[in-house]
Amino acid sequence: MAEGFDYVIVGAGSAGCALAARLSEDPGTSVLLLEAGGRDRSPNIKIPAAFSKQFRTKLDWDHSTGPEPHLDGRTLFVPRGKGLGGSSSMDAMMYTRGRPLDFDAWSEAGNPGWGYDDVRPYFERAENDEAQRSEFLGRGGPLNVAPVREPRALTERLLAAAQETGIPFNPDVNSPEQDGVSPTPVMQRNGRRWSNADAYLKPAMRRPNLSVKTGVRVLGLAVDGDRVSGVRLRDRRGRGATARARRETILSAGAIGSPQLLLLSGIGPAWHLREVGVEPRVDLPGVGENLQDHPFFLLCFESTAAESLADAEKPASMLRFLLRRTGPLTSNVGEALGFIRSRPGLPAPDLELIFGPAYYHDHGFDTYDGHAFSMAAVLISPRSRGRLRLRSADPAEKPELVGNHLAEPEDLAALVTGFRKLREIAAAQSLAAVRGAELVPGADVESDEEVEAFLRREVELLYHPAGTCRMGSDEGAVVDPQLRVRGVAGLRVADASVMPVITGGHTRGPVTMIAEKAADLIRAG
């Protein structure tokens, strides 16, 4: 580290893995990738159906938002992957690009080069449509996209029931037309998780010009005058050091980690930095603002048919997975999805429906002894905005997050519509023969007032924090359209934090696209 590197990247998550792989393609360039967590060796990472077993373990940063003023003052769980692959080693592996209008809106908001036609080649460069079912997904890229290997029979019932309520079947939710229901495209290969560490980093780690250091906690940026020259860090033995970047330092620590490091380094709202004892270097009011996520809730039902994932943890299922990569453990749980509009006149879907042949409640911590299925409605176009702040100048202290979820009446109204639609699907003929009692919330929740009260006490987040280092051309933006941090040289951010507005769907695909495009921007100087 004393000799320095051309590029220092902080965070080996979805963006950091892709960025390190792309920048190290040039053998004349040296790249250092720093990760606070460890290697991705846990079976709960490799087994798709076991993703929630990582929550609140050493593999999880275990953040939370709150108290949330519009959700009965509750705190909401925000798991983030800690280790190689980051949250791509922890997510439910659901692959969606988002809506074309998401990216066109980014461009129209002062970010030329980020419209849908501009970013589509970067999606295609990343993707490998294994089943070759889509004319829109790329082929030959590192990120493998495949069908769920062995979906449960309950999932077929759920898809049929949704269509009986008038939702069309959509063979490709990654086409420009997102409306409709479909089996979930998943980021898996040969029946196991395919994280961005698998897709990008591990092949690149054979290169002598790429160094990957795990167990390293970055404490802040090294700043010389008006230029960032690297990062200050502490290794797993508690030893301090500085990693020098001859060309650029890139923060890819995610929508929580990246703004936190900027604030700890004196880059952010000057009034807030003084409040927590950090000397301001660059007064950048937008750092930590614009926090977004996808609020969701679940309805859970008993199933009278033994067609769920209830038997997934039995020894026979584990043996099938270990020997043949088949069986219920290859499931991502959310085996089908759909996109609908909560009201007429919307330019695109604002709700995502997720169908799972399992009892999934309270992030998997709540359990049910028997066969069941769950249906979720997710608000993918939230109007509410939150913020991230430091609690102190201590890098080890988790930042304070408040999302203000459901602050806007339109957000609540859309989720009420989603509730009614899920109840309609549950009553459809294809589910009638196997549907037992409603376990969550229960049949006594009927009126709009009761539904709204249920939402305020039950809404959680879909693990997609974004927006806290917003990209733009205005004074409130944190990074410019080239992802360079305003007011300081030698520093960029490339992760979900740069999204001006969160995308309409799951975010690993768009974050990978951001990293692919960032690599070209950085190489172009």
Choose the final residue of a domain: 421, 438, 458.
458
Q: Which of 158, 206, 185, 39 is nearest to 425 (CA)?
A: 158
Check 63, 361, 405, 464 and give the catalytic one.
464
**Alpha carbon 499 to its chain's center:** 12
Query: 53 in a domain, yes or no?
Result: no
Are 223 and 199 found together in one domain?
yes
Q: Which of 355, 319, 315 is nearest to 334 (CA)?
A: 355
Q: What are phi and psi of 40, to 5 degrees?
A: -100, 55
Q: Which of 479, 469, 456, 56 is nearest to 292 (CA)?
A: 469
Are 88 and 171 found together in one domain?
no
pTM across the whole model: 0.97
Bridge-based pairing of strands 31-34 and 5-10 is parallel
Residue 236's pLDDT band, with cuts at 50, 70 and 90, is confident
Are 261 and 195 found together in one domain?
yes
Query: 125 in a domain, yes or no?
Result: no
Choose the final residue of a domain: 458, 483, 498.
458
Query: 521 in a domain, yes or no?
Result: yes
Are 282 and 227 found together in one domain?
yes
Q: What are phi and psi of 218, to 5 degrees?
A: -80, 125
Are 172 and 268 found together in one domain?
no
Query: 8 in a domain, yes or no?
Result: yes
**Alpha carbon 76 to its chain's center:** 16
Q: What is the pLDDT of residues 284-322, one digit of tens each?
A: 999 999 999 999 999 999 999 999 999 998 999 999 999
Report how far residue 156's alpha carbon sits from residue 355's, in angstroms, rounded to the nearest whole number: 10
Q: Which of 515, 9, 465 is nearest to 218 (CA)?
A: 9
Residue type at position 342: S
Which CATH number fits the domain that encloses residue 418?
3.30.410.40
Choose the final residue of a domain: 439, 458, 477.
458
Report how far residue 503's alpha carbon sits from residue 294's, in angstroms, rounded to the nearest whole number: 9
Query: 447 in a domain, yes or no?
Result: yes
Query: Above pLDDT 90, what percent of the chain?
Result: 98
Q: Which of 369, 404, 377 is nearest to 66 (CA)?
A: 404
Q: What is the pLDDT of residues 124-140, one digit of tens each?
A: 999 999 999 899 999 99
Residue 413 has pLDDT above 70, yes or no: yes
Residue 109 has pLDDT above 90, yes or no: yes
Report in angstroms the alpha-carbon separations of 7 from 29, 34, 168, 207: 8, 11, 48, 15
Are 306 and 331 found together in one domain?
yes
Residue 347: cis peptide before it, omega within 30 degrees of 0:
no
Are 370 and 239 found together in one domain?
no
Which CATH number fits the domain that encloses residue 210?
3.50.50.60
Q: What are phi and psi of 106, to 5 degrees?
A: -60, -45
Q: What is the mean pLDDT of residues 401-425?
A: 98
Are 28 and 158 found together in one domain?
no
Residue 445 has pLDDT above 70, yes or no: yes
Element containing residue 402 per DSSP (H, E): strand 400-402
Q: What is the pLDDT of residues 262-280, one digit of tens each?
A: 999 999 999 999 999 999 9
Q: Which of 205, 211, 216, 262 is nearest to 242 (CA)?
A: 216
pLDDT, the chain, mean: 97
Residue 525 has pLDDT above 90, yes or no: no
First to last CA, the chain: 23
Q: Please compute Rg for the chain using Cα positions.
A: 22
Q: What are phi and psi of 377, to 5 degrees?
A: -120, 130
Which pLDDT score is estimated for 337? 98
Q: What angle do CA 302, 305, 310 make, to 5 degrees?
A: 70
Query: 452 in a domain, yes or no?
Result: yes
Q: Which of 179, 478, 210 is nearest to 346 (CA)?
A: 179
Residue 2 has pLDDT above 80, yes or no: no
Give the contacts of 30 (CB within 8 A, at least 6 positions apart): 5, 6, 7, 209, 210, 211
Residue 512 has pLDDT above 70, yes or no: yes
Report how far residue 337's alpha carbon sits from residue 180's, in angstroms, rounded to the nearest whole number: 8
Are 324 and 241 found together in one domain?
no
Residue 1 has pLDDT above 70, yes or no: no
Tokens, residue 347: 């330019």
294 tagged catalytic: no
Query: 52 in a domain, yes or no?
Result: no
Are 437 and 343 found together in one domain?
yes
**Alpha carbon 400 to its chain's center:** 19
HEC letters along 69-118:
CCCCCCCEEECCECECCHHHHCCCCECCCCCHHHHHHHHHCCCCCCCHHH
Are 203 and 320 found together in one domain?
no
Q: What angle do CA 304, 310, 312 make, to 5 degrees?
A: 145
Residue with tokens 């330019």: 347
Q: What is the mean pLDDT of residues 376-384?
A: 98
DSSP for 51-74, please give it.
GGGGTTSTTB--EEE---TTTTT-
Task: Return the bridge partners of 169, or none.
Answer: 181
- The alpha-helical segments, DSSP class H, found in 447-507 are 448-458
Residue 3 has pLDDT above 80, yes or no: no
Report how far residue 430's alpha carbon sits from residue 157's, in angstroms, rounded to the nearest whole number: 6
Residue 376 has pLDDT above 70, yes or no: yes
Are 237 and 105 found together in one domain?
yes
Give the contacts of 214 (CB within 8 A, at least 6 positions apart): 12, 35, 36, 37, 38, 39, 83, 84
Sign of the CA dihedral running 242, 248, 254, 260 = positive
Residue with tokens 């330092």: 249
Report in angstroms the alpha-carbon separations of 133 from 137, 146, 464: 9, 9, 27
Task: Return the bridge partners of 129, or none.
Answer: 145
Give the residue numbers spanning the domain of 174. 149-183+295-381+407-458
Query: 64 in a domain, yes or no?
Result: no
Q: What is the total count of domains within the chain? A: 2
DSSP for 293-306, please give it.
--EEEEEEEEESSS
